[in-house]
Structure 1
């Protein structure tokens, strides 16, 4: 008998074993845990440092508001990282403060400060916590024309040059006289008005005498931290911009410190 055309080879089926040549998967959980722990170690000090910075800024703002009698808390930014190192050393490397509407002291010739921006270097507290001392400071004070007008009793505005103001005097309805005066700095943190001249209208002699008396009296700044010295004053669109700087600048909570500062400056 002929062999069947379809024959099957004789072989034995064994147990199926998949041919997986890939390397075994590693357990990634320890790696994730390690990375998470490292991130936590890095983030936690940063969070603590930011919290400390916020506390320092808040306390500084409160102390400045109390000492300068501002109606609202000033803006305070403490620079430098880490904060905890600065606190441990007892000195803040740099502090920026911006305060608004600093009232004038109750003395002759008061002039409030509309805005005061102070950049302090090396700020530390005194041993009795009643003062804050800065190694050096630079500041810019804005004196609004409205406050300047109230102080001088004239309508003051910006002049034709950075060192000049303009005053308007109403002698009668429709009869205004405009005069100009040069602003300059005197010792003792005083602002002087010199070389006044009529720039429009007719000014009677009696009026000229009265204006001369007004402009001959300098205005003294008594409501700034002790140690700041007036360096220059410029007439801007918003008001007089006064630049101040100094070393060993002191912030105190009592009002008499500002009067003492003015007296020391004029000595």
Structure 2
């Protein structure tokens, strides 16, 4: 009986050592993967990486990880030369195969999401314009509110207003509700549902050009495409899926 107890104690100790070694190994692997993602994607900050599943060491030996979660910050978006931050990009990658002597990894499939705050959307908007929540009814239609001094917005978009019309537009504020759409898996398009009525003939095309804009999200993991946009009180949320998604390499 004493021998059985000793064997049990030894088994518990060895098991504890294995778990400790496994957790240490996964922690080191997460740090290494995060640094590789940062350098390969050209990010300003190091992402958070979470390797799931137990034990980790047997997954490494098989060169396939069950699931990996990443949270990317430092992703940017551009609109007409203006660069803004994407608040956060998250991805859950499944069946991640390790390749090229552990220098690259590709997930069989992935679910991803991205968030852009209204503050950052405003930075990408035409000069002088602000973007905000338009209420629950408009949000359900995928719309946001864009407001700005009309003359400043037009001039900020490089549109020359004839001097004879400046006095008519000065002090006028444009308020439109723009529908948010996704195109190509990484481009956010804001298009005004209707244009403000102006006492200036033939200016509709110029107003449309000033108020509508595209925002291209750069640095998404290769193979992950965003295909659904949701308007929330805090900003825009995008979700999507992908196959053969490159994690690093």
* TM range, smaller chain: 0.7 to 0.9
Question: How much has 1:125 moved relative to structure 2?
Answer: 3.4
User: Contact (CA 8 Å) 2:139, 2:232: kept in 1 or not?
Assistant: no
Answer yes or no: is 1:243 the counterpart of 2:239: yes
User: Contact (CA 8 Å) 2:97, 2:106: kept in 1 or not?
Assistant: yes
Answer yes or no: is 1:94 the counterpart of 2:67: yes
Distance 2:80 2:149 in 1: 28
User: Contact (CA 8 Å) 2:148, 2:173: kept in 1 or not?
Assistant: yes
Bigger Cα displacement from structure 2, 36-45 vs 88-97:
36-45
Pick the structure with greater CA Rg. Answer: 1
Answer yes or no: is 1:177 the counterpart of 2:174: yes
Any idea what SS the aligned residue of 1:85 has? helix
Partner of 1:230 in structure 2? 226
User: Contact (CA 8 Å) 1:105, 1:223: kept in 2 or not?
Assistant: no
Distance 2:3 2:80 in 1: 72
Q: Deviations over 1:105-150 (max 9, x none)?
A: 7995655321011100122333165533111111100122222222
Question: How much has 1:215 moved relative to structure 2?
Answer: 4.6
Cα distance change, pair 207–97 in 1 and its aligned pair in 2 (3 A): farther
Any idea what SS the aligned residue of 2:95 has? strand
Q: Deviations over 1:61-98 (max 9, x none)?
A: 11122223333322221111111111001111100111
Partner of 1:80 in structure 2? 53
Cα distance change, pair 107–182 in 1 and its aligned pair in 2 (3 A): closer
Give RMSD over aligned pairs.
3.0
User: Contact (CA 8 Å) 1:168, 1:176: kept in 2 or not?
Assistant: yes
Cα distance change, pair 247–191 in 1 and its aligned pair in 2 (3 A): same
Structure 2: runs of 5 or more not aligned: 152-169
User: Contact (CA 8 Å) 1:191, 1:218: kept in 2 or not?
Assistant: yes
Distance 1:188 1:109 in 2: 20
TM-score (norm 2): 0.77
Structure 1: runs of 5 or more not aligned: 1-27, 254-267
Distance 1:106 1:174 in 2: 26
Any idea what SS the aligned residue of 1:161 has? helix
User: Contact (CA 8 Å) 1:109, 1:219: kept in 2 or not?
Assistant: no
User: Contact (CA 8 Å) 1:110, 1:219: kept in 2 or not?
Assistant: no
Q: How many residues align?
A: 224
